[in-house]
Amino acid sequence: MLIDLNYTTASEPATTRNLRATRVLSTILPFSINVEDFFRGQSLISKFTVSTTSHQHIRIASIRLEAPDGASLRVVSCPVPRDVATLRPSQPIHALFRMEFSEKLACEQLLLVVQYRMLREEVEGVIQEAVRKLLATAPTSPSCHDSQAVIKKLVEALENDASWVEPYELTGELTVPDSNDGDSNCSVLRKKSIGTPISQGEIGG
């Protein structure tokens, strides 16, 4: 990606400067998808297996199979998750779809839509919001308002102890493991659960 920016400064408003920078954006998805098809008369049953390609957990809000308007087939049933599902490195997620064909079968292009978010991104957002609320009521000492330092320590505590993962996936509440950092703000956050149960609509991808 090429960034091309023209700008001026308050001290020299008559001088226009140009910034050109190149950034590499990764377009690789954090998961892979395999599909198995089974024909049953005029119906096709497709089984999609979604597997993570790294050690990270992924939160899946929904998996949809969409056919274009006027297609010779239609998706007549598809799974609708009741809750957000978690894709683990050792546990893939399966989605089944059944399609029915018209008498004139043609080659159609279907679209599989996966709505997801990385668990790490979700948890960091929960921590940032909790830290913001805590520091808003903290004493006015400058050291108490170093939100980035507090967030960093909390994230490090989560990285060093994965015992929080399963309870968080089940309840949506995040309990930060103990660590000997001596930070009073971190201690306050550890003494209570962070976050509330997450609904499907809160995840974007």
**DSSP string of 60-90, one letter each residue:** EEEEEEE--TT-SEEEEE----SS-EEEBTT
Q: What are the residues whose beta carbons fall under 8 Å from the beta carbon of 140, sequence distance 6 or more?
A: none
In the chain, what is the greatest distance between 2 CA atoms, to the nearest angstrom? 75
Is 50 within 8 Å of 95 (Cβ atoms)?
yes
For residue 49, the 8-state DSSP code is E
CATH hierarchy code of domain 31-118: 2.60.40.1230
Rounded mean pLDDT of 107-127? Answer: 86
Both tokens of 139, joined, read 């004493």
Looking at residue 51, its pLDDT comes to 94
Whole-number average pLDDT of the chain = 77
Q: b/e string for 123-143 if b means 16 or more Cβ within 10 A?
A: beebbbebbeebeeebeeeee
The C-alpha R_g of the chain, in whole angstroms, comes to 24
Looking at residue 203, its pLDDT comes to 36
Looking at residue 15, its pLDDT comes to 92
| Helices vs strands, H then E, count in the chain | 4, 9
Rounded mean pLDDT of 55-61? Answer: 88
Inform me whether the pLDDT recorded for 143 exceeds 90.
Answer: no
Considering 90-99, 159-168, 179-188, the range whose residues carry the highest mean pLDDT is 90-99
pLDDT band per the 50, 70, 90 thresholds, residue 204: very low
51: helix, strand or coil: strand
pLDDT band per the 50, 70, 90 thresholds, residue 182: low
Inform me whether the pLDDT recorded for 118 exceeds 70.
Answer: yes
Q: Where in the chain is the domain with CATH 2.60.40.1230?
A: 31-118
Looking at residue 49, its pLDDT comes to 94
Inform me whether the pLDDT recorded for 193 exceeds 90.
Answer: no
Rounded mean pLDDT of 122-151? Answer: 74
